[in-house]
Each structure stands twice: as structure tokens, then as C-alpha cells.
Structure 1
Amino acid sequence: MQRIALFPGTFDPITVGHLDIINRALPLFDKLVIGIGRNINKTPMFADEQRISWIQEIYKDTPKVSAMLYEGLTVDCCRKVGANFIVRGIRYVNDFEYEKAIADMNRSLDNNIETIFLTCLPQYTSIASTLVRDVLRNGGDVMRFLPEVVARSLQNPR
């Protein structure tokens, strides 16, 4: 049986912190699906297609990584892609408390899905998409927090 994991998030934009979690999750699974969740309560800064495109470009030489959009429950997305694992990155202790509550709810909805927490490396703890968007909106330089593909596309918008 293949070990398939879903890494859900908004990835608005995908950051080097996300890449750290993805790259460290890769050896653990046969397939890793990056699930870009659509949240009706949030308006993303970057279009769905742009976020998918960035992930596809970054991982174009890594066939075990794919990206998709989803709406609704994360466990439903897991069922759709055949994932028995959810990967979540943890930066701080309060992240763990929040993520554990979600993991517990997901387990109660489907006890065949296990959440795997990966702590991010210390140099990435302060990198959050929310903060990156705030700095971007205010004209600051966020290039060191972004994968090269993302940074390049923001410097040369089409």
C-alpha cells in the first residue's frame, strides 16, 4: 500500500518555510499532495492558478509531488487522493495546540487518517505567509523568504 500524504494549506504565497516541511516530508511518503485549500472566509492575495503553478514549477523534477485545489473538509480531500496522512508544519508551541485540535477533529471524522507534525528548522520559525503578505503590501523586501520561482515571478509580473 502506498503511503500518500496531503499537505494542506493556503500557500499564499508558498515560502521557504513550506519548502522545508515539504522537502523533509518527501522521504517519509511515496506521494505527497500539496492541497491548496479554498477558504470562503479568506480572499487570497495570489490566484489559485498562480499558487498551483509555483508548486508545479518548484517540484517539476519531483514526480512524487503534486498540487491540487480543494474546498471543504481536508479529510474529504484525503479520501479523494487516497491519502492516509496529513502533514502539518509546527513553528511554535501555540501552533501545536491549534494543529492538535484540528488533528483530533480530523481523526474523529476519519480514524484512518493520521496527522504527522514536522517542526520547522529554527531559521524558518518566523516565516509565515501572513507576514510575507503584510510586508509585500507595504513595499518591503520578502525575497529571502520565498522560493526563487516565486521571487522571480513577483519581480517580473506578467
Structure 2
Amino acid sequence: MSKEVNTTMNSYKKAIYSGTFDPITNGHLDIIKRAANIFDEVIIAVAKSELKKPMFSHEQRVQFVKAATENIQGVSVLGFDTLLVDLAIDLKVNTIIRGLRAVSDFEFELQMGYANSSINKKIETLYLMPTLENAFVSSTIVREIIRFNGKFEHLVPPRVVECMSL
């Protein structure tokens, strides 16, 4: 007995991947591409995060993310300065994507996932890991290399390097 697949079922799924992206790295881009393969729409939400005292302005970071993702189908970019859960409600999204590079990320990300769920029970957090080659890449490392005029171009998307040199 064969089972028929219901091809008329239309299940449109979207997710939010948020962060400071100061700057966006190849690790972030890796997670974005993975999420774009899972979801119909991935909204990259660039947090203002003034308390973190970012190296790049909010406008620059949004521009960098837009440039880095311009050729990835189903990805959009916006800036925000609210609770992520509130943004998710406004955008009618119930899935948040988070990246995990190492065990050290897990505890913080798990706490954030639980906190978001405590505010809105409909929120699900999906944790994705970058490829091994990008597992060590973080915005913090990139910023430190930039501060000391080191070679960082291999750690960020080429379009971001172009934007930085404008």
C-alpha cells in the first residue's frame, strides 16, 4: 500500500536570525545559508545593541549584512532596537535561529532560548552549527584583528570587505 504525498499542502515557514553582527562574519553567513535551506524566509535582524558599544554603527552593520546576503534567496535584513520576542510577534515569526560554535556558546544561548520562551510560549529556538572551518570565527576575533590592523579579510564575506573600504 503506497502513501500519497499531499502536494497541495502549503506550509510557508519563516525564521529570524538576530545578532549584533559587528561585523557579520563567514560564520554568520554559514548559519544564514543553512537557515535559508530550511526556511522559506529568513529575516536577519541586526540589533542596535548600544550597550555592547559596537565598533561599527547600526547603519553600517545593516548595510554589511545586506551586502553579504544580497544573493541568498529568501533572506531579508532589518535593523531593530526592541526585545527580539516583540519583533518576532510583530513579524508573525515563531522560530528564532541561533548559532552555536562551541560548548562555551551553549549555556548563554540556552538561557536566552528559555528566556524568550518564558515571554512567548509559541517561540521556538533552533540552534545551528557552522562548518568546522568557520567554528572559530567570531565578530570579537574579527574586531580585535581589525583594531591591530591585521589580516581579517578571510574571516568576513568579500562584499563586507568592499563595504568597509568605501
Is 2:40 aligned against 1:30? yes
Name 1:92's counterpart in structure 2: 102
The residue type equivalent to 1:85 in the other structure is T
Structure 1: gaps spanning 5 or more residues: none
Displacement of 1:101 after TM fit?
0.7
Is 2:126 aligned against 1:116? yes
TM-score normalised by the chain length of structure 2: 0.88
The residue type equivalent to 1:60 in the other structure is E
After superposition, residues 46-125 of structure 1 pair within 5 angstroms as 46-125=56-135
Higher gyration radius (CA): 2
3-state SS of paired residue (2:21): coil
- Structure 2 Cα separation of the partners of residues 150 and 98 of structure 1: 27
Structure 2: gaps spanning 5 or more residues: 1-10
Aligned residues, how many? Answer: 156
TM-score normalised by the chain length of structure 1: 0.92
- Structure 1 Cα separation of the partners of residues 153 and 73 of structure 2: 26
Q: Which moved more, 1:16-25 or 1:37-46?
A: 37-46
Contact 2:33 2:72 in 1 (8 A): no
Contact 1:54 1:149 in 2 (8 A): yes
- Structure 2 Cα separation of the partners of residues 151 and 57 of structure 1: 10
Displacement of 1:63 after TM fit?
4.4
Contact 1:48 1:69 in 2 (8 A): yes
> Between the two proteins, what is the percent identity of the paired residues?
35
- Structure 2 Cα separation of the partners of residues 63 and 80 of structure 1: 22
The residue type equivalent to 1:122 in the other structure is L
Contact 1:37 1:69 in 2 (8 A): yes
Cα distance per residue 1:47-92 (max 9 Å; x no partner): 2222222222233233411111111211011112121100000011
Name 1:7's counterpart in structure 2: 17
The residue type equivalent to 1:88 in the other structure is R
Contact 1:4 1:85 in 2 (8 A): yes
- Structure 1 Cα separation of the partners of residues 105 and 72 of structure 2: 29
Instruction: Give the root-mean-square deviation of aligned CA atoms.
Output: 1.3
